[in-house]
Amino acid sequence: MIERQGSVRRFVSGVPLVLVVFLAWSGIAHAEEEGGRSLSLSLETGLYLESGSERQRTEIGPLRTRPRYDFAGPLRPDVAIGITSGADRGFAWGGSVLHRGNWVLREDDGDGRRTYGTLVEWMGLAEYRIAPLGPVTVVAGVRGGLVTLFPGDDLRDRIDELEDQGSSVWSGPRLGVVAGPQVGARYRLASRLALRADVGLTWSRVWLQRVSDTAAGVDIRRHAHVNAMRSRMALGLEVSF
């Protein structure tokens, strides 16, 4: 059973990487077909704010509870690396990996905070670029993809507690989805180098647990997920090939 869980865990962890590699390969292939289009590699760091709620549902026989915990996260840094196929004007698409670090949430009532673990977003993107002011390119687009949460601290304690109770609970990375719009600008510093600035808003959902057990003939189900809205500002560099 442990060997099987390890195989599944490796598979789940590898899915986002395969997605990003596929997006990069698609961008390269398209760039080669279009000839005049380019491939860009970007590195940026940002600051983000978030708010949302953790929603739980527990069913023990006929008894049901649905607690909800609203939160607001502190201003936190992140870092992203991306690859994009496209020229200074027109449509472009690609993929990016955004590392948000340790996911810390503070409850709105101020009574406590929760630390869930390391949060990484694996996103595809589609954007449109116009260049109205010479070296400046204005960009508007959408991003969306998968979220991977590697459990730590409070979430890891919750998992360990369920395992100690004999529950069959998945202990590997948690998955989720993310999507939202983004606008920005690129300022051409040299023929292949540009300064980039972006502002974006995303909605995401991460599934924390889904447990179904039977104890003394009583069905027990525990579900939990987190919905979050994030606003983000970022600065970085973009290199074209």
Per-residue pLDDT at 89: 77
Helix, strand, coil % (nearest 5) of the chain?
20, 65, 15
Per-residue pLDDT at 6: 43
Q: Please, which residues have CB within 8 angstroms of residue 93's CB and are 6 or more apart in sequence?
A: 23, 26, 27, 30, 84, 85, 86, 124, 125, 126, 127
Q: Is pLDDT above 50 for 2?
A: no
The domain in which residue 150 lies consists of 2-240
- What CATH number is associated with residue 208? 2.40.160.20
Q: How many domains does the chain have?
A: 1
Look up the pTM and report it: 0.79
What are the tens digits of pLDDT across the range 160-205? 888 887 777 888 999 999 999 999 999 999 989 999 999 999 999 9
What are the tens digits of pLDDT across the range 120-144? 999 999 999 998 788 999 999 999 9
Tally of residues, the chain: 241
CA dist 137 and 197 (Å) reads 11
What whole-number percentage of the chain has pLDDT above 90?
A: 50
Q: Please, which residues have CB within 8 angstroms of residue 110's CB and are 6 or more apart in sequence?
A: none
What are the tens digits of pLDDT across the range 51-103? 999 998 888 878 888 888 899 878 999 999 999 997 667 899 999 999 999 99
